[in-house]
Structure 1
Amino acid sequence: MKNFRFRKANLQDSPGLAYVHVHSWRTTYEGIVSHEYLQSLSIEEREQEWVQILSGSHHTYVCEVEDGKIVGFVSFGKERSGEYEGELYAIYLLEEYQGKGIGKELFGIAAAGLEKQGYNSMWIWVLKENPSKHFYYALKPALIKEEKLTIGGESHQEEGLLLELH
């Protein structure tokens, strides 16, 4: 992975994060989430969300290639419901960069970051139909719950996984 660099995201990364976020959704969830919904995702709107996130205290890390282009990212922190400890908020990678170990490296950054914050476990939400969910299951998490989630007016099943970090 000598051509990839991993670092903490900064405000100037908002456009690159938005691009990866939208395009990875379009490729990962094509055939699962409605095509119309995926095409309606706005890079500009997502960029504004990233500006807000990166303007505050955050734990978002990017992977960039030699020319500085962001090809993947991970975001993590305190679990949002208060039921668990740490949470993997998002991990996305452009399709053409999958299978190169980048996702594993980003996941490792999140796990180490959560441990550094004093958390012993990581909560992960994943769409049941997500073709990449085997990535999480290879780590032997516990399937704790399933919930319905509405995306683009359609109902989807989401799996809540708990991974022990030690």
Structure 2
Amino acid sequence: MIIREATVDDAQAIAHVHVDSWKTTYAGIVPASFLQKLSHEKRADMWKTIIPSENGYVTVAESLDGKIIGFADSRLREKTANGQAGDLTSLYLLDVHHGKGIGKALLQAQLAHLKGAGCTKVYVEVLKDNRTRQFYSYYGADLHETKQIEIGGATLDEEIYVWTDIEKVLAR
């Protein structure tokens, strides 16, 4: 498995992981009608815009046979009194590849990039009912707050976690 920075040529493969992961991860959480409307083509167009953006950093996990099986995205958040903050805006991995250390590798690549950009804190927002949310606390993120958001007409609880010791996660 290889972790590398994404290129615009990866947009279609990232879109497949994105849509397919949403359909498995959020089944029973997000309304089925919303999940059914997700489009690989629309997500590919979205990623073609995000990948070359100067604001973000997108990495992919590529299997040994060259297939993209996961991805992560981050960006700078805001200046704070204690320095720059970042957002881990997405980290998705096809279900069959969970539990193999790939998510950790994607997370560490993103945190290393954000640390290099001067971030002292990194936030991640995750649906409370997402079974994979414990991944973030396992790797040292602390629950910062809970808020409600709307997706597909449903009101859902979203938890915001924050890492304040990026170096600790990178050394793990």
Structure 2 counterpart of 1:100: 100
Q: Which of 74, 80, 91 is the aligned partner of 1:76?
A: 74
1:54 partnered with 2:59: no
CA distance in structure 1 between the aligned counterparts of 2:146 and 2:79, rounded to whole angstroms? 17
Aligned to 1:160: 160
Runs of 4+ in structure 1 over 6 Å off: none
Q: CA deviation at 1:82?
A: 5.8
Deviations 1:23-70 (A, max 9, x none): 000001111111221111011000000011123223100011122211
Q: Distance in 2 between matches of 1:29 and 1:87?
A: 21
Q: Is 1:35 aligned with 2:21?
A: no
Aligned amino acid, residue 10 of structure 2: D
The 2-side partners of 1:144 and 1:113 are apart by: 22
Structure 1's unaligned 5+ residue stretches are: none
Could you tell which deviates more after superposition, 59-68 or 133-142? Answer: 133-142
Structure 2 CA distance, aligned partners of 1:131 and 1:41?
A: 21
Question: Number of residues paired by the alignment?
Answer: 162
SS at match of 2:123: strand
Q: Counterpart of 1:120 in 2: which secondary structure?
A: strand
Aligned to 2:121: 121
- Local SS of the residue matching 1:146: strand
* Number of the residue aligned with 1:65: 63
User: What is aligned with 2:170?
Assistant: none
Q: Residue type matched to 1:69 in 2?
A: K
1:9 aligns with 2:14: no
Partner of 1:22: 19
Unmatched 5+ residue regions in structure 2? Answer: 168-172
Paired residue type of 1:36? S
Q: Where does residue 131 of structure 1 map in the other structure?
A: 131
The separation in 1 between residues aligned to 2:89 and 2:34, in whole angstroms, is 21
In structure 2, C-alpha distance between the alignment counterparts of 1:145 and 1:6, rounded to whole Å = 31
Question: How far did residue 122 of structure 1 move?
Answer: 0.6
Post-superposition CA distance 1:77-119 (Å, at most 9, x none) = 201x666711101000000111111001000101111111111
SS of residue in 1 equivalent to 2:140: coil
Asked whether 1:45 is paired with 2:21, we answer no
Pair 1:151–1:82, CA change in 2 (3 A): farther
**Identical-pair percentage:** 36
